[in-house]
Amino acid sequence: MSAALTLTELELDALTELVNLGVSSAATNLSELVREEVALSVPEVCIVTQDEAIGNLRERDAKRLVGIHQDFEGDIRGRALLIFPEAKSMELIRALVGAELSPDDIMELEQEALAETGNILLNACLSTIANSLQRNLRISLPEVIHGDGADFFRHSNAEERVLFIYINFAVKHRDIQGFLAMILDLPSLVMLQKLIDAYIERSTGHVG
Partner 1 sequence: MSLTVLIVDDSKLARMSVAKALGALYPDWKRIEAANAMEALEQTKQLAPEVALVDFNMPGKDGVTLAAELRALDPKMSIAVISANRQVEVIKRTQAAGAAFLPKPLTEGALADFLTATLKRRQPGSQ
Residues in touch with partner 1 (CB under 8 A): 9-10, 13-14, 16-17, 20-21, 24-25, 27-28, 31-32, 36-38, 40, 42, 128, 132, 172, 200, 203-206
Q: How far is the CB of 25 from partner 1 (least distance, A)?
A: 6
- Among residues 62, 57, 66, which one has the least CA distance to residue 144? 66
CB 18 within 8 A of CB 182: no
Least distance (Å) between residue 10 CB and partner 1: 6
- Asked if 184 contacts 162 with a C-beta cutoff of 8 angstroms, the reply is yes
User: 40 in helix, strand or coil?
Assistant: strand
Q: What's the closest the beta carbon of residue 12 comes to partner 1, in angstroms?
A: 10
What is the distance between the alpha carbons of residues 52 and 96, in angstroms, rounded to a whole number? 33
For residue 35, the minimal CB distance to partner 1 (Å) is: 9
User: What is the rounded (10 degree) CA torsion for 128, 130, 131, 136?
Assistant: -140
Give whichever of 13 and 52 is closer to partner 1, judged by the CB atom: 13
Minimum CB–partner distance for residue 170 and partner 1 (Å)? 13
Nearer to partner 1, 21 or 109 (CB): 21
Collapsed DSSP state (helix, strand, coil) of residue 174: coil
Q: Write the single-letter amino acid at 56.
A: N
By beta-carbon proximity to partner 1, the closer residue of 66 and 82 is: 82
CA dihedral 29, 30, 31, 32 (to 10 degrees): 50
Q: Which is nearer to partner 1, 162 or 196 (CB)?
A: 196
Shortest gap between Cβ of 127 and partner 1 (angstroms)?
13
Q: Which residue number, 12 or 106, has a Cβ lying nearer to partner 1?
A: 12
Residue 41 and residue 1: Cα distance in Å, rounded?
28
